[in-house]
Amino acid sequence: MPEAQDQGEPAAGSYAIRFDHVTLQYGTHTVLRDFDLSVRDQEFVSLVGPSGCGKSTVLRLAAQLIAPTAGSVSIGGAAGRRGFERVAIVFQRPNLLPWKDVISNVLYPVTVLRRPTAGDRDRARSLLDMVGLGKWAESMPDELSGGMQQRVAICRALILDPRILLMDEPFSALDALTREEIQFELRRMHEATRKTTLFVTHAVSEAVMLSDRIAVMSSDAGRLRDLCTIELPDRSENATASEQFHAYSKRIRDGIYGRAVPHTDPATGT
């Protein structure tokens, strides 16, 4: 089956992240081959695919933690370090500092750069209020549940007001109910902050619920198999019961498992 092409690629300069025919090799092992994807400003894009297909590698390239063997990665059209100064990452586990209280954990990126100001503390409290943790600001991490700790980690990532948020399976360690709750919280935060988000997940329903578009990666050296635009009028828990939601989910699963990707758009039925 030919690899899917994105028919809605943004014009040059209108994207937040651009992977331009990126190949990454470690010795004789090819992790990514000719990976081509653009993420628009303020867009939420999820990466899904089989284990080992290179999803987390794509995030590491976007954060400039590694460099491609061939091709280029740019942020807002600026290749190199200039474009990566406002990129934040949320990992699978919150990795909070156990000896610091919640608000100090949120402020930690600021303290690395300089001494926090009253304005920084006000922003930290506003972020905690936004995720429902305002009253926990002076608590220690071990007093919080796993879901609450991950909310703190998201606030920490947002404290410097990054342009781009990279998220590497941030909810994988949570129980099913907490994961569902924080999914809706993240979607609400995205709608409020409009941060460009590149999100890695193995959960198809999670990707459909959260995303504006979903990039389905192939196990064949991280090629792009499908790029699906998600248009759901309802992003509440009721959406998961809709035929449209199930149609999107089927299309994504078909792409992951190598079945022919349908040409029908679940949003229109055409």
> What is the average pLDDT value for the chain, to the nearest integer?
86
Q: Range with the lowest mean pLDDT among 10-14, 15-19, 196-200?
A: 10-14
Select, from the ranges 32-41, 85-94, 255-264, the one with the highest average predicted confidence (pLDDT). 32-41
* Residues 240 and 125 placed together within one structural domain of the fold: no
Q: Which of 174, 224, 170 is nearest to 197 (CA)?
A: 170
Q: Is residue 267 part of a domain?
A: no
Say whether 215 sits in a helix, a strand or coil. strand
* The last residue of a domain, from among 117, 145, 161: 161
Say whether 181 sits in a helix, a strand or coil. helix
Rounded CA-CA distance 229/18 in Å is: 17
* The last residue of a domain, from among 161, 191, 206: 161
When pLDDT is averaged across residues 154-172 and rounded to a whole number, the result is: 91
* Residues 30 and 147 placed together within one structural domain of the fold: no
Return the pLDDT at 78. Answer: 57
* Residues 157 and 169 placed together within one structural domain of the fold: no
* The last residue of a domain, from among 122, 137, 161: 161
pTM: 0.86
* Residues 31 and 151 placed together within one structural domain of the fold: no
Does residue 79 carry a pLDDT above 60? Answer: no
Whichever domain contains 20, its CATH number is: 3.40.50.300
| Residue 33 · residue 3 · CB < 8 Å | no
Structural domain count of the chain: 2
Helix (H) or strand (E) holding 102: helix 102-113
Q: Is residue 103 part of a domain?
A: yes
Say whether 48 sits in a helix, a strand or coil. strand
Return the pLDDT at 177. Answer: 87
Q: Range with the lowest mean pLDDT among 122-126, 132-136, 201-205, 263-267?
A: 263-267
Domain span holding position 31: 15-86+163-256
* Residues 185 and 248 placed together within one structural domain of the fold: yes
